[in-house]
Amino acid sequence: MSGRPLRLLILEDRPEDADLALRQLRRAGFDPTWRRVEDEEGFRANLDPELDLIIADYHQPQFDALRALKLMQEAGLDIPFVLVSGAVGEDMAVAAVRLGAVDYVLKDRLGRLGTAVENALEQAKLRRRQQEGQKALEHQALHDGLTDLPNRLMFRQQIEKGLAERASLAVLVLDLDNFREINDTFGHKIGDGLLGQIAPRLREHVDSRDLIARLGGDEFGILLRDTDAAHAMGVAESLLRVERPFLIEGHPLEVTASIGIAVFPQHGSTAETLLQRADVALYVAKRPGNSAAVYRHEDDPYDPSRVALQADLRQAIARREIILYYQPQVAIATGEVTGFEALARWRHTQRGWIPPVEFIPVAERMGLIKPLTACLVELAARQVVAWQRSGISIPVAVNVSMRNLLDPRFPATLKEIVATSGTPARQIKLEITESALMTEPARVLETMNELRAIGFGFSIDDFGTGYSSLAYLQRLPVEEIKIDRSFVGELSNNAGSGAIVRATIELAGGLGLDVVAEGVEDESTWQSLGRLGCSTAQGYFLSRPMPPSEVEGWLAEWSKRSDRLQAA
């Protein structure tokens, strides 16, 4: 006769009592494989997770059943435990059941043992199912259904855990660049297949203890521990170097991605801030020419001080608190003042002077650059008229942002401004950065031609930092380029910069363009530029940007200084 197998441990000092119990179990249809132990040592040695059941005599001479229960629980085991006992006090029985014993059977009613064991096994099965269900639920709550990767919630929890350990860590957010196209072209099935293959690829490039999660859609998170921004950037670059195309159901798919990085402690000390800042960096990484970027404060539209700035900026523009300082431009050969560049200045009522590199990008993102530029061009135009009245006839250059050039109403707006102020448009030059030209050349060219027709002149700002060729500039209505100050400043101590400046001056001369060197800080740079044939200089050597009230005084000073310089 073969009954239900039962791996059994019996805690009982009397072999004959153990036999009685076994007989009852066989009668109830079990086929026990069993060991009998008498003391703590034996119990410990035979306790194992694969046991189906423990039965124990309550009245053990050296080792009582309550202690056995405790040992089992301490070992993290949940094995059905049935007390078999002589007369046991009710309070003892209660204590035992509370500790986890499932049931107890009196020795003189041993006929009940079979049923008690059945119940105990049944209950254990239920508990196991519940635990498994619980685990599955927990897994589901913390994992993504499609890829079975940890989800955003778990990613956050793991970041928090890392933060609690105060170890440096980096949060990388990776986003596929062309996932939507792939989905639209090949269908969701292929798209899903692709998402499933991303993690294994990423795994090849990170440490086994680093976490990879799916944050949603085509966005993945990677948590690196004990790292810094430079190392995280290195990892990001290796992650992006996934050259092999993905093969999904026979379709080879070329996939590219972008990665944003935020690092603890530099960029934040909560999971929320780090994730959000990695997103800001991702936004920057998505720009053409980038693929991975570390968070930078100045890119961040959510930065708390920046949020405050946004509210203030709107008001400042409306109240005309943003004003212009003027920096002279001088012909190197003659010392003649050929123009002024107007540079925006904001004197914030609480925060003092805020530099344009801080508030111009905010204005651009908030859609405030149109009113701001209009306001500043108007200010410059009025200044030109005011100087003309006092006998100073010098053109002013105003900086214009790329967004202005993409605004179809920009030419009309400027036309009205110059008409109202009575300034000839040719007295106003618009400075456009090289990178703005490259963003949407066709639209920008159209706007430039309209502005040119009104009479405005153009100057290409920060030349040398972008990728435009001089040949391309020739097709634009441009008469001047400004060599970026990073090259000019290095002129005397960096041969590479010297070569760039020299080549630019020569090529520009061939194309009939004027060249303004920005950032001329000392006399030796001024002299070198003169020797290289550069027409115009601008920089601290001549003057810092100044409020319009100081311009007349400076002009008088300059004519004296210029004579001395020419004589030298």
Q: What are the residues binding ligand C2E (CB under 6 A)?
A: 327, 343-344, 355-357, 360, 376, 399-401, 431, 461-462, 485, 518-521, 539-540, 545
CB of 433 to Ca ion, least distance (A): 7
Per DSSP, the three-state class of 528 is helix
| Between 18 and 451, CB nearer to Ca ion | 451
Helix 113-142 and helix 15-27: axis angle, to 10°? 80
Give the distance, in angstroms, between the CA of residue 29 and the centroid of all CA atoms in the same chain: 64
| Between 343 and 437, CB nearer to ligand C2E | 343
| Between 28 and 483, CB nearer to ligand C2E | 483
- Residues in touch with Ca ion (CB under 5 A): 399, 431, 461-462, 518
CB of 402 to ligand C2E, least distance (A): 9
Interacting partner of 228 out of Ca ion, ligand C2E, none (Cβ under 5 to 8 A depending on kind): none
CB of 544 to ligand C2E, least distance (A): 7
Number of neighbours of residue 164 by Cβ within 10 angstroms? 8
The answer to whether the beta carbons of residues 62 and 39 sit under 8 Å apart is yes
| Between 60 and 447, CB nearer to Ca ion | 447
Per DSSP, the three-state class of 269 is coil
| Between 81 and 359, CB nearer to ligand C2E | 359
Interacting partner of 219 out of ligand C2E, Ca ion, none (Cβ under 5 to 8 A depending on kind): none
Interacting partner of 379 out of Ca ion, ligand C2E, none (Cβ under 5 to 8 A depending on kind): none
**DSSP characters over 183-235:** HHHH-HHHHHHHHHHHHHHHHTTS-TTSEEEEEETTEEEEEEES--HHHHHHH
CB of 545 to ligand C2E, least distance (A): 5
CB of 361 to ligand C2E, least distance (A): 9
CB of 400 to ligand C2E, least distance (A): 6
| Between 267 and 485, CB nearer to ligand C2E | 485
Per DSSP, the three-state class of 362 is helix
Interacting partner of 545 out of ligand C2E, Ca ion, none (Cβ under 5 to 8 A depending on kind): ligand C2E
Interacting partner of 149 out of Ca ion, ligand C2E, none (Cβ under 5 to 8 A depending on kind): none
CA–CA separation, 222 and 156 (whole Å) = 11
The answer to whether the beta carbons of residues 137 and 182 sit under 8 Å apart is no
Interacting partner of 442 out of Ca ion, ligand C2E, none (Cβ under 5 to 8 A depending on kind): none
| Between 140 and 315, CB nearer to ligand C2E | 315
CA–CA separation, 227 and 38 (whole Å) = 55
Instruction: Please give the structure tokens belonging to residue 147.
Output: 């890829």
| Between 345 and 415, CB nearer to ligand C2E | 345
| Between 539 and 548, CB nearer to ligand C2E | 539
DSSP-assigned beta bridge partners for residue 2: none
CA–CA separation, 368 and 360 (whole Å) = 9
Helix 369-389 and helix 410-421: axis angle, to 10°? 30
CA–CA separation, 68 and 73 (whole Å) = 9
Total residues found in the chain within this entry: 568
CB of 249 to Ca ion, least distance (A): 52
Residue with the two structure tokens 């109240």: 319
- For 382-499, strand residue ranges (E) read 396-400, 428-433, 457-463, 480-483
CB of 549 to ligand C2E, least distance (A): 18
Interacting partner of 539 out of Ca ion, ligand C2E, none (Cβ under 5 to 8 A depending on kind): ligand C2E
| Between 262 and 376, CB nearer to ligand C2E | 376
Which position's Cβ is nearest ligand C2E?
A: 539
| Between 335 and 356, CB nearer to ligand C2E | 356
CB of 534 to Ca ion, least distance (A): 15
Per residue, the 3-state secondary structure of 33-64, as one string, reads EEEEECCHHHHHHHCCCCCCEEEEECCCCCCC
Interacting partner of 360 out of ligand C2E, Ca ion, none (Cβ under 5 to 8 A depending on kind): ligand C2E
CB of 241 to ligand C2E, least distance (A): 34
CA 402 to each of CA 196, 368, 369, 405: distance values in angstroms, whole numbers, following the listed order: 40, 13, 10, 5
- Cβ contacts of residue 212 below 8 Å, gap of 6+? 149, 150, 199, 202, 203, 206, 220, 221, 222
The string over 9-19, giving b where at least 16 C-beta atoms fall within 10 Å of a residue's C-beta and e elsewhere, is: bbbbbeeebbe
CB of 371 to ligand C2E, least distance (A): 12
